[in-house]
Amino acid sequence: MTQARIFQINASDGGVPKRPLRQAEINELGLTVDKQIHTKVHGGPERAVCLYSLERILALQAEGHPIYPGSVGENITISGLDWDAVVPGARLRLGDVLIEITSFASPCDLIEESFADRDSQRISHKKYPGWARAYSRVQQPGIVKIGDEVTLESPDE
Q: Name the pLDDT band for 149 (thresholds 50, 70, 90).
A: very high
Strands 97-104 and 91-94: antiparallel
| Listed residue (121, 34, 104, 131) closest to 75, CA to CA | 34
Q: Where are the domains of the chain?
A: 5-153
Q: What is the pLDDT of residues 77-91, one digit of tens each?
A: 999 999 999 999 999
CATH fold of 5-153 reads M1 Pyruvate Kinase; Domain 3 (2.40.33)
Residue 2 has pLDDT above 90, yes or no: no
C-alpha separations of 14 from 4, 5, 36, 85, 88 in Å:
28, 25, 4, 29, 25
Q: pTM of this prediction?
A: 0.94
pLDDT tens, residue by residue, 12-34: 998 899 999 999 999 999 999 99
